[in-house]
């Protein structure tokens, strides 16, 4: 049974601006940061929202 999304990735040309926007929207600071990547954990299922400069490679 599908209960929702576990991960959502967003690509952003201006990563610092995207981080600020998502932090304000979600009312959270990033859970994890590294150059070119921010991760926010949202909700009781610990869903992840990621803002990245470019697509992540598997």
pTM surpassing 0.75? no
- pLDDT for the residue numbered 43: 73
- pLDDT for the residue numbered 48: 64
Residue 1 lies in a domain: no
State in Å, rounded, how far the first CA of the chain is from the last one.
25
At 1-58, the pLDDT tens digits run 666 667 777 788 888 888 899 889 888 888 888 888 888 887 765 656 666 666 656 5
For the domain that residue 45 is a member of, what is the CATH number? Answer: 3.10.180.10
Q: Which residue has the tokens 């599908």?
A: 2
Residue 58 lies in a domain: no
What is the domain count for the chain?
1
- pLDDT for the residue numbered 31: 86
What burial class does residue 15 get, using C-beta atoms within 10 Å of its C-beta: 0-12 exposed, 13-18 middle, 19+ buried? middle
Q: Enumerate the β-bridge partners of residue 23.
A: none
What is the span of the domain harbouring residue 48?
7-52
């Amino acid at each position: 049974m599908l209960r929702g999304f576990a991960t959502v990735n967003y690509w952003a040309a201006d990563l610092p601006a995207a981080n600020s926007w998502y932090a304000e929207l979600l009312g959270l600071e990033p859970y994890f940061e590294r150059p070119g990547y921010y991760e926010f954990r949202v909700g009781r299922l610990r869903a992840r929202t990621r803002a990245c400069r470019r697509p992540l490679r598997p």
